[in-house]
């Protein structure tokens, strides 16, 4: 599954996602919480001023991530964890990074509330997610395809209005950037980069 995930994402990474990861992870310092680190594709981009705790519920992904953590500039601890029930006290972290994961958390609203709980007041949070299309036809296609897509892609949802969910959880959105990566022979996913504060 982890190797399949990496192969599936390679065209997106080459189309510009790696550059987004570098910008977001590189901007964070202090004790950083990364939610759903996957195979650790963000790890190479953290600076030495960050100390990272990264959670990932899938064992195969954690194995990849642990190997990547060993070569990162920042100290990174990879551990099992569920975004909906974070095993940390309130106000434990200085910053957070969430990339391509809110689509797969069963209760994303609960995960966002948990994230806000463990962050210090005013902590910077960086999100990068694929989202529900703002075009009516695109949103309809996402809705029609979502049940099958979710089954095939291990719970990933195509049609979540993630920016609205971030705001509803109490985060203050300071910057929002739309991306429309074009990958040959693949669906066109709308993406959003969100800079927010808890």
**Contact status, residue 41 vs residue 14, Cβ threshold 8 Å:** no
Whether pTM exceeds 0.85:
yes
The string of pLDDT tens digits covering residues 115-128 is 999 999 999 999 99
The string of pLDDT tens digits covering residues 127-164 is 999 898 888 888 888 889 888 888 888 788 889 999 99
Establish how many alpha carbons lie within 13 A of residue 58's alpha carbon, considering only the half-sphere containing its beta carbon: 18
How far apart (Å, rounded) are the C-alpha atoms in residues 56 and 60?
A: 10
Residue 30 belongs to what H/E stretch?
A: strand 30-35
Place of tokens 């990074």: 97
pLDDT (0 to 100) of residue 184: 65
Q: Over the Cα atoms of the chain, what is R_g?
A: 16
The string of pLDDT tens digits covering residues 91-109 is 999 999 999 999 999 999 9
pLDDT (0 to 100) of residue 186: 62
Q: Where are the beta strands (DSSP E) in 56-171?
A: 76-79, 95-99, 124-130
Are β-strands 190-197 and 124-130 bridged in parallel, bridged antiparallel, or unpaired? Answer: antiparallel
Which tokens hold the place of 143? 């809705």
Structural class in CATH, domain 2-197: alpha beta
């Amino acid at each position: 599954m982890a190797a399949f995930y990496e192969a599936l994402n390679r065209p997106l990474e080459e189309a510009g996602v790696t550059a987004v990861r570098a910008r977001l992870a590189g901007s964070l310092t202090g004790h950083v919480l990364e939610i759903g680190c996957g195979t650790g594709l963000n790890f190479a981009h953290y600076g030495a001023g960050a100390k990272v705790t990264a959670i990932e519920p899938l064992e195969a992904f954690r194995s990849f991530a642990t190997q990547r953590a060993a070569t990162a500039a920042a100290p990174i601890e990879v551990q099992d964890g569920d975004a909906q029930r974070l095993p940390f006290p309130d106000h434990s972290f200085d910053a957070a990074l969430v990339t391509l994961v809110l689509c797969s958390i069963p209760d994303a609203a609960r995960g966002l509330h948990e994230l806000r709980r463990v962050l210090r007041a005013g902590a910077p949070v960086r999100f990068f997610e694929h989202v529900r299309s703002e075009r009516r036809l695109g949103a309809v296609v996402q809705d029609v395809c979502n049940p099958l897509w979710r089954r095939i892609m291990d719970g990933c949802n195509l049609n979540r209005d993630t920016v609205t969910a971030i705001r509803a959880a109490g985060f203050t959105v300071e910057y929002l950037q739309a991306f429309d990566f074009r990958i040959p022979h693949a669906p066109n996913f709308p993406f959003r980069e969100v800079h927010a504060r808890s």
